[in-house]
Amino acid sequence: MATMKCEIITPSGLIFSDDIVSVTLPGSEGEFGVLPNHASLVSLLSSGVIEIEKEDKKKELVAINWGHVKVDEGKVTILAEGAVAISGSGSDIAKSLQEAKELISSMSDSAPAIAAATAKLESAAKGNL
């Protein structure tokens, strides 16, 4: 199975770095997906949720407030002003979800965008990612 390298970087440092199968990003013009060998591009990201699919089919979610992405054929580099990884179990997920909702709400003035991101986060938490 083809993979690509994905990195998520904030002013605080690297928060994700791994080989992945696909990533769905909250672009400024709407969500878009990236697969290995995607054409190169640079795009503005809006507040929302990054959904990462790893080789073992597990999904990871990272909420961001805004940022930029650079896609090359074998690598996706995401620079985000603020990001919260949704991971763990039980109270850890609840805490991460609350932090992610606050991050997204602080940057987005669009009620539908906040609702969509919150619904994605809550749905993933119910399925325990």
pLDDT by 10-residue block (mean), the chain, 129 residues: 94 94 93 95 92 92 92 95 73 66 64 67 63
pLDDT reported for residue 9: 96
pTM of the shown model: 0.76
Output the pLDDT for position 94.
65
Q: Provide the CATH number for the domain formed by 1-129 in this structure.
A: 2.60.15.10
- 65 neighbors 81 (Cβ within 8 angstroms): yes
Instruction: Give the pLDDT score at 99.
Output: 72
How far apart, in Å, are the Cα atoms of 120 and each of 11, 39, 69, 72, 86? 25, 27, 21, 27, 11
> How far is Cα 116 from Cα 23, in angstroms, rounded to an integer?
17
Residues 34, 104 contacting (CB under 8 angstroms): no
Q: What CA–CA distance (Å, rounded) separates 104 from 48?
A: 6
